[in-house]
């Protein structure tokens, strides 16, 4: 539970970067002779300066006891925000007030020296954070056990694998006595077991009570599992704020899942949206999945149109694919026609977890007309799953389910 005591207060912070286009923008000369030669070859070239706002007029308050997740597309301003809070980057405008010591893991091994051993780096990083030696010693054993690098503790960290480096860096940042902990997508290189260990510790509040944790991640399941609150950043501004579940749903609704691709490949088919015919937040494995996809044709007739669905799991593996080319030759749609396609996937028996829907449309001779990945999400609960046996937690191969397709008039 959070208290009324703020540990991070950001007031109208902005960060601008100046980038150059034109003369020397891509490969600036390294010598005077190169500069003169370039000017002779391009006498009319000029430099255009452009201002890019990574963060713009952003306000944020994080209170003691909160774990706040930050989500958004690449380039939205998430990492810049954390760098401003941690003091790595100065804001162009605004101010950040911190009420406590800050531990940050913005890059793997931040604060580590590659020539020093793991043991020495624990004390080095602790001293950088302002810890006294006796404070570091009191937590030393817990750090080593959590990181699982006992055998390599007296080995220079430059010889560590990236995973070992990460394990020790996270353990140090998490266990030292700081009031504020900033984490920026650093668990991506860790193995699955260590990721679960870290997220479980954050989610259960195993770290010292009263700490504020800010976590940037593209793993929406991790955000929902560990964060008491979340914010969505787009173009350097906060566009949504609330519970982790609410914000991730908002993010999914704006097509913001990292890795999401939505392309209209030809001008002949326009995507109008998707409508769910069942509640996708609490399905059981035996429930049907019902979707209505809305399209509109452009300036040309479409012959032998086929529209397929694919359902992917949290590891982005396809677990259900309708594969309509196996059962139908497609249908013909005249130009400038609105239509809908209703899909009912019969009892796919998906294991509990979160799944995403992707949509593909192609015409005669396999011409790709539309391609959209991860446009909707559904959650499968464990209710009714294998009532007389253990629950299976992994799917190793995709299946072709029983399904129905119907073409409906447009609205």
pLDDT in tens, 15-36: 998 776 555 555 666 777 777 7
Mean pLDDT check: name the lowest of 42-46, 63-67, 341-345. 42-46
The whole-number pLDDT of residue 299 equals: 76
The whole-number pLDDT of residue 96 equals: 95
Between strands 180-184 and 67-71, the pairing is unpaired
The whole-number pLDDT of residue 238 equals: 93
How far apart CA 358 and CA 374 sit, in angstroms, is: 5
* Mean pLDDT for all residues in the chain: 78
Write the DSSP symbol of residue 208: P
Contact, 160 vs 148, CB < 8 A?
A: no
Residue 406 has pLDDT above 90, yes or no: no
Cα three-residue angle 234-316-330, rounded to 5 degrees: 100
Question: Residue 173: pLDDT band by 50, 70, 90 thresholds?
Answer: confident
Domain 262-409, CATH 2.70.50.60 — does that match? yes
Question: Residue 315: pLDDT band by 50, 70, 90 thresholds?
Answer: low
**And the tokens for 139?**
């937590």
Mean pLDDT of 309-332: 72
The whole-number pLDDT of residue 387 equals: 44
Between strands 269-276 and 318-321, the pairing is unpaired
Tell me which CATH code domain 6-11+58-253 carries.
Answer: 3.40.50.300
Residue 396 has pLDDT above 70, yes or no: no
Domain boundaries, the chain: 6-11+58-253, 262-409
pTM above 0.75, yes or no: no
Residue 386 has pLDDT above 60, yes or no: no
Residue 191 has pLDDT above 50, yes or no: yes
Question: Residue 402: pLDDT band by 50, 70, 90 thresholds?
Answer: low
């Amino acid at each position: 539970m959070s208290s009324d005591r703020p540990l991070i207060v950001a007031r109208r912070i902005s960060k601008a970067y100046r980038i150059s286009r034109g003369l020397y923008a891509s490969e600036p000369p390294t010598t005077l002779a190169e500069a003169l030669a370039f000017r002779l070859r391009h006498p009319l070239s000029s430099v255009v300066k452009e201002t890019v706002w990574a963060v713009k007029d952003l306000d944020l308050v994080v209170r003691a006891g909160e774990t706040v997740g930050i989500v958004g597309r690449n380039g939205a301003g998430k990492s810049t925000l954390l760098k401003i809070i941690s003091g790595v980057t100065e804001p162009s405008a605004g101010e950040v007030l911190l009420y406590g010591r800050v531990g940050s893991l913005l890059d793997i091994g931040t604060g580590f020296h590659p020539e020093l051993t793991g043991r020495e780096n624990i004390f080095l990083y602790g001293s950088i954070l302002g810890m006294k030696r006796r404070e570091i010693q009191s937590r030393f054993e817990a750090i080593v056990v959590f990181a699982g690098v006992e055998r390599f503790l007296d080995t220079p960290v430059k010889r560590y694998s990236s995973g070992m480096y990460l394990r020790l860096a996270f353990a140090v940042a998490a266990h030292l006595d700081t009031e504020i902990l900033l984490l920026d997508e650093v668990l991506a290189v860790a193995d699955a077991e260590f990721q679960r260990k870290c997220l479980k510790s954050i989610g259960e509040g195993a770290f010292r009570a009263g700490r504020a944790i800010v976590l940037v991640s593209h793993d929406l399941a991790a955000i929902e599992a560990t964060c008491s609150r979340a914010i969505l950043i787009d173009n350097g501004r906060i566009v949504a704020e609330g519970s982790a579940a609410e914000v991730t749903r908002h993010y999914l609704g704006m097509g913001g899942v990292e890795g999401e691709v939505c392309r209209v490949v030809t001008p002949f088919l326009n995507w109008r949206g998707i409508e769910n015919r069942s509640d996708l937040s609490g399905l059981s494995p035996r429930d049907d999945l019902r979707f209505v996809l809305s399209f509109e044709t452009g300036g040309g007739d479409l012959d032998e149109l086929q529209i397929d669905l694919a359902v992917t799991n949290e590891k982005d593996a396809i677990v259900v694919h309708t594969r309509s080319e196996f059962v139908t030759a497609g249908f013909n749609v005249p130009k400038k026609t609105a239509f809908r396609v209703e899909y009912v996937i019969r009892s796919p028996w998906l294991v509990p977890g979160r799944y995403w829907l992707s949509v593909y449309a192609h015409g005669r001779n396999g011409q790709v007309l539309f391609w959209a990945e991860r446009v909707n999400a559904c959650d499968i609960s464990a209710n009714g799953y294998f009532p007389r046996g253990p629950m299976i937690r992994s799917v190793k191969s995709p299946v072709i389910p029983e399904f129905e397709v119907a073409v409906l008039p447009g609205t």
